Amino acid sequence: MSRANPGWVLRVFTANCSSWASISVKPQWLSIWFIHADHLHKLGRPFLSNHAHQLVSTDFFVVPTATFRLLFVFLVLSHDRRRVLHFGVTAHPTSEWTAQQLRHAILDEQGLRRILKLYFEYYEKSCTHLGLGKDAPIHRPVQSPALGKVIELPQIGGLHHRYERRAA
C-alpha cells in the first residue's frame, strides 16, 4: 500500500501520533526519515540476519483466573527460534521482581558459558598477540590470494571479525 501511495505512510503516521498519543507531529519533520526508509530497510536486514540469535522480546500481560484474580505474566521470547526463554507469574509485581526476572532470563548460566566459550575461541584462534609475533596462540597459516576473495566472519556476536579467503 505504501509503495502505491508514496505519501500514505507519512499521513497515517502523523495522524496516529496526534490521535493516540496527543503528540503534534509535522510531516516535514518525518519526511527525511521516510525518504530514506527503503535505504534503512536494506541496512536493517543484514543487522537482523547477523544478530537475530541474540535478540529477545519481552512482554508483560495480565491473565484473569477462574476465581477472578489477576495474575501478571512476564514473558521473554527468543527471536531466532521464537521460543520461550523465560516466564514469571506473580499476583503483585514490583520493580525488584521484574528486574530479577530479567536477570534470570538473560544472564542464565548456560548463556554465560556460551559467551565465554565464544570469547575463548576468538582469543585462541583469531586474536593477535604482540608476544607471539602478531600471531594467535593457535597458529593460522598465511592464505595465498589464489584461494579466492577475502570474506568477513563475525565472531562473538559480531563484536570482532576474522577475515579469511574463500573461493567464490
| pLDDT of res. 114 | 80
Same domain, 44 and 58: no
Domain boundary, last residue among 64, 81, 107: 107
- Give the global pTM: 0.42
Q: Which domain holds residue 25?
A: 8-51
The C-alpha atoms of residue 152 and residue 143 are separated, in whole angstroms, by 14
Looking at the structure of the chain, the number of domains it has is 3
Q: What is the pLDDT of residue 105?
A: 79
Residue-level pLDDT at 91: 92
Residue 124 in any domain: the answer is yes
pLDDT of residue 16: 62
How confident is the chain (168 residues) per 10-residue block, as mean pLDDT? 58 61 55 54 69 80 91 87 86 89 76 80 79 77 86 81 81
Asked if residue 132 and residue 90 are part of one domain, the reply reads no
